[in-house]
Structure 1
Amino acid sequence: MADTDRNTAPWHVWVVGLLALFWNGFGATDYTMTQTENRGWFESMGFDAGTTDAILAFMDSAPMWTHAAWALGVWGGVLAAILLMMRNKLAVPVFAVSLLGAFLGLVNYWTADYPPELRQIADSSMMYIVVLIAAFWLFYAYRMKTAGVLR
């Protein structure tokens, strides 16, 4: 006999899971394109050649821990989103790792010495938004785990 309670998930698990996958998937794409120094990626986002050069030089000079934190944040988020949609309770600790990566990115944001060409990027609130959204994914997964939706 099939356990219908175990086989049905609230509709919002799929909505949140797909949104988390899209959000973190974009971050993972950005990470990959930056790490591979894909100039076309930067051009598609409206950066000119000088700004692209400044971004790539800045990233090349960044400490290795910042690259690792970024990878944990985005790839952890991708994995956690998939686990959430699979209704796997491991989504909670993996979203926690993703949040840690985002928070470490914020620490780098506070402490990095941005060159003048990147001042506009450095002065944006995007890093704060990233951390808040990562915290939401973790909060949501935790609530679904405590509600018995994730097993």
Structure 2
Amino acid sequence: MAQPTAPAPSSLMPVALILLIWHGLLGADYVIARFGLGAQDWPALMPLMPLDALWLQVTWALGVWLGVVAAIFLALRDDASVLLFFAAFAFEVAVGIGLFLAAPPVMLLPVPLLAVIAVLVVMPLFGWLYARAQNRRGVLH
């Protein structure tokens, strides 16, 4: 395994931790909602979204779990996080488009649908841009 040539910046671990917490919460939401493990007070996101089509369910799962794996790889300083964050970003964009097209006129979400879609797309985009910048600096191996 090749060792990185550049020292890690002080921002690497906090950014990786924030991305891991975000994608970890989405993963927990997915597991709790998908397998019915949640309590009534869990602020679930997945059941409130119109994920009726199979392709939306698959792209949602891929976006969530690729983001989790990408955040773990970023924390480990592995350059695979660049590709994984990009794939998570692409799947979240597909979910966003599908949600926008399939959304009923009145959503049950406490915030506007476009705000939810924006956050779901921006976080893996930020992770991809950050991981790509660190990879170009030689921090990731």
Partner of 1:135: 125
Structure showing greater relative contact order (alpha-carbon pairs closer than 8 Å, 6 or more residues apart): 2
Among all aligned residue pairs of Structure 1 and Structure 2, give the percentage whose two residues are the same amino acid: 26
The answer to whether the 8 A contact 2:50-2:99 is kept is: no
Corresponding position of 2:41: 43
Please, which runs of 5 or more residues in structure 2 have no aligned partner?
none
Correspondence for 2:91: 101
Please state whether the residue corresponding to 2:79 is helix, strand or coil. coil
**Partners of 1:13 and 1:85 within 8 A in 2:** yes
Q: Provide the C-alpha distance between the structure 2 equivalents of 1:101 and 1:32, rounded to a whole number of angstroms.
A: 18
Shift of the 27–144 alpha-carbon distance from structure 1 to 2, 3 Å rule, reads: same
**Amino acid of the residue matched to residue 77 of structure 1?**
G
**Which residue of the partner structure matches residue 20 of structure 1?**
19
How many angstroms does 1:56 deviate by? 7.2
Structure 1, 97-106 or 139-148: larger mean CA deviation: 97-106
User: Contact 2:88 / 2:124 at 8 angstroms: preserved in 1?
Assistant: yes
Contact 1:34 1:56 in 2 (8 A): no
- In the alignment, the residues of structure 2 paired with residue 78 and residue 56 of structure 1 have an alpha-carbon distance, to the nearest angstrom, of 21
Q: What residue identity is the alignment partner of 2:68?
A: V
1:43 to partner: Cα distance = 3.0
User: What 5-or-longer segments of structure 1 have no aligned partner?
Assistant: 48-54
Give the alignment's Cα RMSD to 1 decimal. 2.8
**Residues 98-137 of structure 1: CA distance to partner in whole angstroms, max 9, x if unpaired?**
1012111101121114274x34457331111221121111
**Which structure is larger by alpha-carbon Rg, 1 or 2?**
1
Q: Residue 20 of structure 2 aligns to which amino acid in structure 1?
A: L
> Normalising by the residue count of structure 2, what TM-score does the alignment of the two structures yield?
0.83
Is the contact made by 1:37 and 1:56 (CA closer than 8 Å) also made in structure 2? no
Q: Which has the higher helix share?
A: 1
TM-score by length of structure 1 reads 0.78
* Equivalence for 1:144: 134
Report 1:1-150 matches (<5 A): 6=5, 8-38=7-37, 40=39, 42-45=40-43, 55=47, 58-59=50-51, 62-114=52-104, 116=106, 118-121=107-110, 123-124=112-113, 125-150=115-140
